């Protein structure tokens, strides 16, 4: 879910480094890391 500033919350496996779903993160809280990723920057106009 996006917050006010547009950052997205993602979950990553601490073992493999791959992204996992929120459900998987909830099942394995000891081996998952919650990250807040900033929104993509807008391309500059030339």
- Which tens digit of pLDDT belongs to each residue from 21-46? 999 999 999 999 999 988 878 888 87
Cα–Cα distances in angstroms (integers) from residue 10 to residues 5, 30, 31, 43, 44, in the given order: 15, 15, 14, 23, 26
Please give the pLDDT value at position 1: 53
pLDDT at 2 over 70: no
Q: How many residues does the chain have?
A: 46
Whole-structure pTM value: 0.66
pLDDT at 14 over 70: yes
Please give the pLDDT value at position 11: 95
């Amino acid at each position: 879910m996006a917050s006010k500033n547009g950052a997205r919350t993602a979950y990553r496996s601490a073992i493999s480094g791959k992204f996992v779903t929120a459900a998987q993160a909830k099942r394995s809280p000891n081996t998952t890391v919650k990250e807040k990723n900033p929104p993509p920057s807008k391309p500059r106009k030339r």
